Structure 1
Amino acid sequence: MSEEQIKIGTENLLKAQSFRKDDARERALQAIENLEKRGAKLTFRSVAREANLSVSYLYKYDDIKLRIAQTRNNQASLPRQLQSKTDSSYNNILVRLKERIVKLEEENKKLKGINEGLAGKVHRIHFLEDQIERQKQIIEDLQTRMKELQVQVNQAKIIPITQGKSIPEGSSEEQNRKYILTKELKTKISEVGIKLNDSLIQMINSSTEKQVLNALGVVKERLLVGKVKSKAGLFRSALVENWEPNETEEYLQKSQFEEWYELARAYGIVIGNKQEGDVILVQENTKEWIPYEEFSDRWTVDYLRRVVTGK
């Protein structure tokens, strides 16, 4: 081999060594920048691993040793929470936030259900308040009527009798006319389920037998149509107002519709009503008008009583 060839080979070898040295240095510096951007802890071992170099190789570069030492000192002086904001820590934060969102959505769903339940109870309370006011008015009317009847009784000097008292023997026809509460009539009243007391017996004695029988007919009619809250109360009202069975049909239908409508409105299935000719229409919550009879077949008054009043 000539001297010229040896010289060229030596130059090429030196160039290759210089290139590898520069390349290793650049890779080390790039590794330091990458680690700093990620906030990772900077050590000779972490830089060597990132640059794919050996630790001993890094010690050959004074500027790299100085750079690593300075950066490590700066990291040591930072607060602990700022030293290692790695990708994994961010992922942990995201996981916790997602879990919190799911928990809040579940709580919101539960609160929504509670709110809907409270709204239903408010409707029920309003309905019961209306019923109480109606009952108060009925009681006041009955009390007024009772006072009037008491005055009439006192003026007529009607002799009150107790339940089960028999007609005295040898009494006059006028006296017998006052004792209209016969055994047969008491049996009819008992069959309907009306309990007699002194006040009711006194009212019966101040009425004719026809009025009493009419009042019984009204109670029987109402029992056929629907539930009667107080048989004695209904009998008393029919007796005071002198109702006749055939004349109460329209009243009963109206009363039944009013009870059904109040329950249906409280339950939220109707929002209005109107009458067209002989047909009563109710407005569904979809704003569609439907005949009352057709709608009440689907939503019976017994069902609405159970779901609205719990009875």
Structure 2
Amino acid sequence: MKSKHIRNTEGVKKHAQMKSQEATQKVDQAIQRLIKTKAKINFNQVAMESGVSKAFLYNNQEIRNRIEGLRKQQEGLKSSQAMKRNMTDASKDSLIVAKNNRIKKLEEENKHLKDELMKLRGIIYDKF
């Protein structure tokens, strides 16, 4: 037996549309925060930052295109890890020399302070 009742789904449709708009705003704000902090932009990061599902990001074509575009832009930028990997031998050698000089200076300072401490302990011991 078929019902002749007409279903009113306008409220449900409006609610779903409103929820989608709110999620889109969250995604926009999350992307802006990621850009400001110069964090890596990809679907996982945007989903975690915005609190929306990755499925929403992939299914919304406008957002998907935006994330993919930003991700491609960032591919051209070198990360600090990539820059560390690309250090030349000369720059590594100069860094080692600088660190060795710093270590030597700190060792000398440490020895000087230990000697001074021993003198002060001797003065205190003599007073008592």
TM range (shorter): 0.5 to 0.7
* 1:109 positional shift: 7.9
Q: Which amino acid aligns with 1:81?
A: S
For residues 41 and 81 of structure 2, the distance between their equivalents in structure 1, rounded to whole angstroms, comes to: 14
Query: TM-score if structure 2 supplies the norm length?
Result: 0.56
- Spell out the pairing of 1:26-41 with structure 2 (5 A cutoff): 26-41=25-40
Name the residue aligned to 2:109. 107
Name the residue aligned to 1:54. 53
Higher-Rg member (1/2): 1
Alignment of 1:80 onto 2:75: no
For residues 16 and 108 of structure 1, the distance between their equivalents in structure 2, rounded to whole angstroms, comes to: 69
For residues 30 and 81 of structure 2, the distance between their equivalents in structure 1, rounded to whole angstroms, comes to: 20
Instruction: Say what the alpha-carbon RMSD is for the aligned residues.
Output: 3.2
For residues 30 and 41 of structure 1, the distance between their equivalents in structure 2, rounded to whole angstroms, comes to: 15
For residues 71 and 28 of structure 2, the distance between their equivalents in structure 1, rounded to whole angstroms, comes to: 14
For residues 63 and 81 of structure 2, the distance between their equivalents in structure 1, rounded to whole angstroms, comes to: 24
* 1:12 positional shift: 1.4
Query: TM-score if structure 1 supplies the norm length?
Result: 0.25
Q: Which secondary structure state, in structure 2, belongs to the residue aligned with residue 47 of structure 1?
A: helix
* 1:73 positional shift: 1.2
Q: Which secondary structure state, in structure 2, belongs to the residue aligned with residue 59 of structure 1?
A: helix
* 1:74 positional shift: 1.5
* 1:80 positional shift: 2.4
Name the residue aligned to 1:127. none
Q: Which secondary structure state, in structure 1, belongs to the residue aligned with residue 59 of structure 2?
A: coil
Name the residue aligned to 2:70. 71
For residues 32 and 111 of structure 2, the distance between their equivalents in structure 1, rounded to whole angstroms, comes to: 48
- Spell out the pairing of 1:154-303 with structure 2 (5 A cutoff): none
Which structure 2 segments of 5+ residues have no match?
A: 83-101, 117-128
* 1:26 positional shift: 0.9
Structure with more strand by fraction:
1
* 1:108 positional shift: 7.5
* 1:81 positional shift: 2.1
Q: Which amino acid aligns with 2:45?
A: S
Which structure 1 segments of 5+ residues have no match?
A: 84-99, 115-311
For residues 36 and 70 of structure 2, the distance between their equivalents in structure 1, rounded to whole angstroms, comes to: 12
Greater relative contact order (CA < 8 Å, ≥ 6 in sequence): 2
Give per-residue Cα distances to partners, 1:114-139, cap 9 Å, x unaligned: 8xxxxxxxxxxxxxxxxxxxxxxxxx
* 1:64 positional shift: 1.0
* Distance 1:107-1:28 versus aligned 2 partners, 3 A rule: same
Give per-residue Cα distances to partners, 1:286-308, cap 9 Å, x unaligned: xxxxxxxxxxxxxxxxxxxxxxx
